[in-house]
Amino acid sequence: MAKSKMVEPILCSISSKQNRLTLMISVREDIIPVNFFIKGRHKESVRKTINSTFRYTADRMNFFEIIITDELLSFIDDVIMDISMSYAPSREVLKEARIKSNHSTIEFNVINRSNDQIVQPYTTKKGNLSFRYLEQKLSGKFEEVKMDKNGKLFFRGYFMLPESFVDESTVKLSAIDKRTEITIPITISTVDKNKNIFEMNGQYDILEHLQDDEKDKSFKFYIEAEKKFGEETEKLVSARLKSSIPGNKFPYQTTLKFQHKRKKVICTVTAESKFLRINVKKPNRIKATIKQFKRKWYRFKRGKSLRTIYKSLFVLTGKMPAAKNVIIFESFAGKQYSDNPRAIYEFLKENDYDFKMYWSFDRNNMKKFESNENIKAIRRFSIKWLILMSRAKYWVINSRLPLWLPKPKHTIYLQTWHGTPLKKLGTDIEEVHMPGTTTEKYKRNFVTAASKWDILVSPNNYSTEIFKRAFDYKNAIIETGYPRNDYLTRNNNKEKIRYLKEKLNLPLNKKIMLYAPTWRDNNFYSKGKYKFDLQLDLERLREEFEDEYIILLRMHYLVAENLQISQYENFVYDLSKYDDIRDLYIISDLLITDYSSVFFDYSVLKRPIFFFVFDIEQYRDNLRGFYLDFKNSAPGPFSKTTYELIKDIKNNNEVNGKKFRNFYNEFCYLEDGNASERVVKHLFE
């Protein structure tokens, strides 16, 4: 039977109860399954139909429930078993399609009672769902680990015993060094006896187990089980235990005093394999002193005392005569040379305006721009920055400055902002989910920051009305279009596209998809550092499009993730740290986004836009809310799964006629390539 692409059913969820796996499978609404079945990889003639139950329909997909039992797997009796769906297209022969899985790892399994082995579901390299037999063995993992300043380790985790070891066996946790083995007491409780999974809890006082020697130690962790079978005792040792704790939570470290000597203790997780490890070593006194000094200096720099001194100096120098020919530019809190400030800066340079112009960069981005001959870079909050910033006649900035920083009376603060608002802003947000603030505090701080702006740039009338209300803004607004989009209007040609592709070392013979999602307020590591879970199935996209396309990833500047894409070499490129997204717009043949304002700018190019909105209900109803009737106004189709997105891209490779024109006329009518000139004339002439 022939296989057909684009009709594969998808594993949406998997759960386990009483040694059964319950799978929820989504199937395109227009595809009618005949049945689901499982067959052996090496014994294809041995197959078994799986009973399925229709559950519901949503988003053009039908959802079916199927149950995998150990009896079903015993019937197939193969090392690897594949699961598929048969269906009957109208007026065609019966066809088969493998079930796809978006799950990178699947923790559940079934124990086959007939041969006392584990059957584990897994996702193949091609993204298909399969089952494989594993020998039952002792295994475990830490789920939670903490260490206090006294060197006491607290942990919680799970381990799995072979069936034959479940009853009357002795289990212990061992910390092993090359010269030392320590048994750590643990409390054990049953999680699921049918799956032989047990929870372990315990604590480990490192001081109790240190020995009076000078040698460094590196402890690794293992589970050991022992049981008597008649006259003989059998012992099992697990593989080295890993930790599922995110890397940003580690390391824990402290310095302990032992036998009148100091010992540095570091609890960490190895970078690649994620093994839990404790290192005990003699501290380097010189390094420790330097590190302690740096820590204290860092705290002082970040503390209120230095901020008060700095603010006083800023106010003092701000009372000096204004430097009327000085302009300070800053983009995204000093992280980039980009956006509207860059467009205004380049217009002034190209037209020989007689100003001394400086770019403000934070310390982590200074080196990247110090060597740029086209700009004068100054480090944010340095003494030079303080003097220039406090005396400058003009500030041109696209995001909020720190609230404590005063604006001198002689300074004209041009706030260009950085997007046409789709999601609610400022005082329009009903409930704030960001770290380090409350809803009332956030709104109050936003209004205070906006009160310092003298002129606010707006891309269109729609934005003007929102800015006034959301920022509680009372000063001047100029409706000019966005200066940053002048570049798109003037460089939308084959020569520029080829030049940029060569500059970025991208293949000239491939089309480009640009994926540029926004950040989620409630998904963060810490204040100003946000997580992003890449829901896009890159493997599936590669299967469908690698002959024709490559994908560029562009994360929001607040997102702190380092995406692991090495397995998609020559198909996926992470350009999140590239200076300015405008070049990526120019070279991209289509845009995939979600709730980011990038689609307003990209519309200037009149190219296809696709919205991958897997969490739209959560984002719209619980996080931000939208100003627009998003679905009816957006200039492109919506999809909640990678499968739907692939279908949309294949069927909608041109911009959407009337709907797109209406969108363009409402939001892009000022983007004629002259917005920078209009802003500059208003500001200086």
What percent of the chain is predicted at pLDDT more than 90? 33
Measure the CA–CA gap between 553 and 536, rounded to whole angstroms: 11
pLDDT in tens, 367-388: 888 878 889 999 999 999 999 9
Residues with Cβ within 8 Å of 81's Cβ and at least 6 positions away in sequence, in order, are: 38, 39, 40, 41, 73, 119, 130, 131, 132
What pLDDT is attached to residue 110?
63
What pLDDT is attached to residue 168?
82
Residue 356's pLDDT band (cuts 50, 70, 90): very high
What pLDDT is attached to residue 618?
75
Indicate whether 584 pLDDT > 60.
Answer: yes
Residue 560's pLDDT band (cuts 50, 70, 90): very low
Residue 18's pLDDT band (cuts 50, 70, 90): low
Measure the CA–CA gap between 263 and 210, rounded to whole angstroms: 9
What percent of the chain is predicted at pLDDT more than 70? 86
Measure the CA–CA gap between 444 and 471, rounded to whole angstroms: 10
Phi, psi of 227 (to 5 degrees): -150, 145
- Amino acid (one-letter) located at 361: F
Q: What angle do CA 523, 529, 535 make, to 5 degrees?
A: 45
Q: Find the largest Cα–Cα distance for the chain.
A: 99
pLDDT in tens, 525-537: 444 444 456 778 8
Residue 629's pLDDT band (cuts 50, 70, 90): confident
Measure the CA–CA gap between 79 and 82, rounded to whole angstroms: 10
Among 50-59, 191-200, 365-374, 420-429, where is mean pLDDT lowest? 191-200
pLDDT in tens, 99-127: 988 654 455 566 555 555 667 788 887 88
Indicate whether 359 pLDDT > 60.
Answer: yes
487 and 676 Cβ atoms separated by less than 8 Å: no
99 and 85 Cβ atoms separated by less than 8 Å: yes
| Helix or strand (DSSP H, E) at 393 | strand 392-397
Residue 653's pLDDT band (cuts 50, 70, 90): low
Phi, psi of 336 (to 5 degrees): -140, 160
Closest CA to 586 of 500, 515, 508: 500
What pLDDT is attached to residue 524?
44
pLDDT in tens, 138-173: 888 888 888 888 888 888 888 888 877 888 888 999
Indicate whether 291 pLDDT > 80.
Answer: no
- Asked if omega into 251 is within 30° of 0 (cis), the reply is yes
Measure the CA–CA gap between 273 and 483, rounded to whole angstroms: 47
Indicate whether 347 pLDDT > 70.
Answer: yes
- The strand ranges marked E within 70-169 are 80-87, 95-98, 100-101, 110-112, 117-123, 129-134, 139-147, 152-160
Closest CA to 540 of 391, 468, 644, 467: 644
Indicate whether 650 pLDDT > 60.
Answer: yes
What pLDDT is attached to residue 103?
58
Look over the chain and give the mean of its residue pLDDT values, rounded to a whole number: 83
What pLDDT is attached to residue 184?
87
Task: Pick 224 or 216 by higher pLDDT.
Answer: 224
What pLDDT is attached to residue 590?
95
What pLDDT is attached to residue 111?
59
Distance of CA 568 to the CA centre of its chain: 17
Residue 326's pLDDT band (cuts 50, 70, 90): very high
Measure the CA–CA gap between 358 and 385, rounded to whole angstroms: 9
Residues with Cβ within 8 Å of 131's Cβ and at least 6 positions away in sequence, in order, are: 38, 68, 73, 80, 81, 82, 83, 119, 120, 121, 122
What pLDDT is attached to residue 4?
40
What is the pTM for the complete model shown? 0.61
Indicate whether 57 pLDDT > 70.
Answer: yes
Measure the CA–CA gap between 13 and 19, rounded to whole angstroms: 17
244 and 274 Cβ atoms separated by less than 8 Å: yes
Task: Pick 299 or 250 by higher pLDDT.
Answer: 299
Q: What angle do CA 462, 463, 468 make, to 5 degrees?
A: 110
Mean pLDDT of the 587-600 span: 92
Mean pLDDT of the 620-638 span: 82
DSSP state at residue 22: E
pLDDT in tens, 464-517: 999 999 999 999 999 999 999 999 999 999 999 999 999 999 999 999 999 988
Mean pLDDT of the 292-305 span: 74
82 and 38 Cβ atoms separated by less than 8 Å: yes
